[in-house]
Amino acid sequence: MARMRKAVWAASVLAYASQTLAFGFPDCVNGPLANTTVCDTSDSPSARAKALIDMFTTDELVSNTNSGAPGVPRLGVPAYQSAEEALHGLATSPGINFASSGNFSFATSFPAPIHMSAAFDDLALLAVGDVISTEARAFSNANMGGLDYFTPNINPFRDPRWGRGQETPGEDPFRAAQYALNYVQGLQGGIDPPQLKIAATCKHLVGYDLENPPGTNRFVFNAVISQQDLASYYTQPFQSCVRDAQARSVMCSFNAVNGLPACADPFVLQTLLRGYLGFDEERWVVADCDAIEFLFDQRAFVPDFVHAAAVGMNAGTDIDCGTTFGDNLGAAIQMNLTNSSTLARALTRQYSSMIRLGYFDPPASQPYRQIGWSEVNTASAQQLALELAAEGLVLLKNLNDVLPLSTSKTGTLALIGPWTNATTQMQSNYAGPSPFLISPFAGAQAAGFSVVSALGTQINTDDTSGFAAALEAAMTSDVVVYAGGLDTSVEAEGMDRTTVTWPGNQLDLITQLAGLGKPLVVLQFGGGQLDDVDLKSNPNVSAIVWSGYPGQSGGTAIFNVLTGQTAPSGRLPVTQYPAAYVEQVPMTDMTLRPSASNPGRTYKWYTGVPTFEFGFGMSYTTFVPGFASTPKASYAIQALVAAAPRDAPLDRAVLDTFQVEVQNKGAVKSDFVALLFVNTTAGPPPFPNKELVSYARVKGVGPGSAATVKLPVTLGSVARTDENGNAWLYPGDYSLILDVPTRAMHSFRLTGTQTQITHWPAAPSS
């Protein structure tokens, strides 16, 4: 039990604050490494890394296989920590030392990933990655942080109960793939640049999307996933992150996949990752924190920790976020369970990445080594955080155009609910100290409202003692804003929900507030969705705004949108299911397609009626989107394949680029998110409802104006995946579907013979 408690502790980001190592860079001029190959900038990263690792003794190899590595003092190789976190800003973690005050005591805190994803603004995501990597370099140059970051989390948000869904881009694998492509590009300084800005880690490979549903937990869960679902859903974001964005690292997950723990599965780490996805030898795999220890602790997969370390290393896990490798690989070598050359290969992979980071190069020749504190929390970073917070807000209901509110016509505004004075609540998890935190209350005051406030109730309680004060405040006001929903006290790492209803007695309070007859705006915070069916149907609830986790400027962003200074334009990145959904399918059922025991998962396969659809989001103006010109009526499969570039994967070849014209027929300038879906009855059943194939955010369309946006659609997006995981182009009828709800459609045909465009690796026999 003591070791189990240690593992749970180590896996928690809350424990990271006390695990720190000294930082520094090797001295290639005067130190022991001077004049060695590792310091020769004209040689290749892999050759330089190999030359360094060849100098390590066996004991030094073993000790440096942990993420908190002691380095090799006799060679002048400093201690190194690769467990930094930057999910949406530099976060409290072993590899970042925040000062107690003054310089380097904080960093820009952007909205949570689920919130940023709702903006569907890829250029902004790229900019966020660039800001975070700039601030990371500033910390690194001050010896306050490292250069490897455990981000992004791109596991699809498959089940609405998942506590860590807030860390992800949402339920759609195409959206998650594009999120990864842009975010990683911003973090690393481009796609496969000669010198990396920082190194990103895509996590968690693969099938990790639950914490602790009744009867199991993430450390021991065996995710039973068909090759069809593995190829078409669970690994799609990783294909983008690894193959397209060229992320330098991948984190293998706690869970098993079809019987084998992911961090000890040669199919996942070798056949799939290094073979199919092309994860080359200059990139490395890190185990989720203490996942190697759990091979023995809870799975009884191996007889002891020595075997656990050997099995993980031999399968292709290079670095252990934990201590099991360092504590046990020496014994494993003595027992001939693994060998020093396997450890050398693992460390060569990691140090190849470090060389690409300029770790051994002269500071004067590296622009990134010149970044300092003045480039942290800049005015442009603050503005970007504010803009994305506003862009990610989603207007779900707006009866009689009660929004936007007018400060001049609103005498008093009552702000009620457990998010009224939220500060750190707005940051979500995996966050660090921020330069400031603007609460909804502060945002309302800054917007010019005369504000009265009352807590009313907490996030998850049956205590009604605050109801009277809340109702009194509402009765004396002209407009009521209720700020509540979820927070990390009910959804977080290690904490799934068991329902998707409003927790505690919040809904009771909202219902009583609605009965007063005042205009009532409900702000629904949190990463997961709540079933808003009662609020949606209640004529006395005037407006609903999904408010996510908006970050450091959340209060300002919310009231910028509520007052119309910024028009709402976000779209839901997840389906809002009715409450009964959780009774229809257990979290542990990994299948996506509907069956007798499963109503189907995500907007692609769900057979019920959602309370609000994936992609739904209203505006303050009237947009009329449509195809700018009539698209083609047919495409020949063989011609498409023949015309595809030969230097890129066939599934990334473009079917066509569709031009969409967006007309603003209303009176408010606004952004518009254009969403393009495809559905078809071609290929084998069952058929998805529709699938997102392209999107774009159109900026600032003025009243009476129009804008045209190009939406490219790839062959892979219109392909269907067979039971073996292979993608095919099937002849038949297809429909392009524009917007949610549908605003325009176009039908086309694929002609010719069915053609396979991907070749998923053969799964091991059971």
Q: Any idea which residues carry the catalytic annotation?
A: 288
Query: Residue 761 and residue 119: Cα distance in Å, rounded?
Result: 35
Q: Is the dihedral of CA 281, 287, 293, 298 positive or negative?
A: negative
Give phi and psi for 477, each to the nearest 5. -115, 165
Closest CA to 413 of 465, 437, 448: 448
Query: Residue 352 and residue 345: Cα distance in Å, rounded?
Result: 10
Q: What is the DSSP string of 259-314?
A: TEEGGG-HIIIIIIIIIIS---TT-EEEE-TTHHHHHHHTT--SSSHHHHHHHHHH
**Structural contact between residues 60 and 77, judged by C-beta atoms closer than 8 angstroms:** no
SS3 258: coil
Which residues have CB under 8 Å from 133's CB, separation 6+? 186, 187, 188, 189, 197, 198
Q: Which amino acid is at 711?
A: L
SS3 695: strand
Place of tokens 């030392």: 97
Q: Is the dihedral of CA 39, 43, 47, 51 positive or negative?
A: negative
Q: What is the DSSP string of 475-514?
A: HT-SEEEEEEE--TTTSBTTB--S--SPPTTHHHHHHHHH
Which residues have CB under 8 Å from 545's CB, separation 6+? 393, 394, 395, 396, 403, 521, 522, 523, 524, 558, 561, 562, 568
Closest CA to 623 of 573, 660, 577, 584: 660
Tokens of 211: 């914490």
Query: Residue 288 and residue 115: Cα distance in Å, rounded?
Result: 24
Closest CA to 522 of 557, 574, 484: 484
Helix (H) or strand (E) holding 450: strand 450-454
Determine how β-strand 394-398 pairs with β-strand 543-548.
Answer: antiparallel
Q: Which amino acid is at 431?
A: A
Q: Which amino acid is at 467?
A: F
Which residues have CB under 8 Å from 30's CB, separation 6+? none
Question: Distances from the Cα of 765 to the Cαs of 227, 233, 258, in angstroms?
Answer: 12, 21, 10
Closest CA to 541 of 510, 501, 579: 510
